[in-house]
Structure 1
């Protein structure tokens, strides 16, 4: 399982997160997603720890804690949802046309 860490400072590094979470157990992986266009950190990350007990200890201690000027949001990461695909008839309602867009106006 993995831990979601939100509301992070944009200057946080993987080493920073490893150091903070290692106070609660062995950190096995840290991931900080970046924006595809700018390469800048997106303000959240994921931490994986060696045991569930270590994860729970970190979550209990760090959720709502202030770090680097931000109040962190820390909880169990939810499984990634698969992107839905639109049906061939279109999911926007109205009649479908060859461009795949609805003829309904909004």
Structure 2
């Protein structure tokens, strides 16, 4: 199945759940509740980690990113893995960024169930080593006492964001 077909299927699933009013606890996203990682594919090759963080931090604090690069040339392979501080941010990222265009390329954003970090090499810093040991963002904070299941609202796409210069044409999600 090609990447654009996967983008379309994820968007159709989200639309169906929104139309049916499916609760967050039984949504297809709940299968990934233990992972704060998302896969981002179809990226323009010239984007850097900073560019990706700039776009994806709209829905939460990013604590780790792995932009996969060619070992010989160091050039981006056009996909990366992003880890959010809070797992709930992954749902927003998947629902809102999947299928958008960045610099003329349609990107695919999906959950990652079991992210495996790349093998350690000598040039990684202590912060990265610590994140790999303890993991990042896998624990979602418990709901506050004012939250109740009766007040649960299905996840909806957010509208009215500022236009981003990386989107072509300008995206207002």
TM-score normalised over the length of structure 1: 0.71
Aligned residues: 81
Look up the match of 2:72.
37
- Post-superposition shift, 1:42? 0.6
TM-score normalised over the length of structure 2: 0.44
- Post-superposition shift, 1:80? 5.7
Higher Cα radius of gyration: 1
Return 5+ residue gaps in structure 2 as ranges.
Answer: 1-34, 117-173
- Counterparts in 2 of 1:1-106, with a 5 A limit? 1=35, 2-79=37-114
CA RMSD, aligned part only?
1.4
Instruction: Choose between structure 1 and 2: higher helix proportion.
Output: 2
- SS of the aligned residue for 1:79 comes to coil
Structure 1 CA distance for aligned equivalents of residues 112 and 100 of structure 2: 18
Instruction: Choose between structure 1 and 2: higher strand proportion.
Output: 1
- Post-superposition shift, 1:78? 4.3
Structure 1 CA distance for aligned equivalents of residues 50 and 71 of structure 2: 21
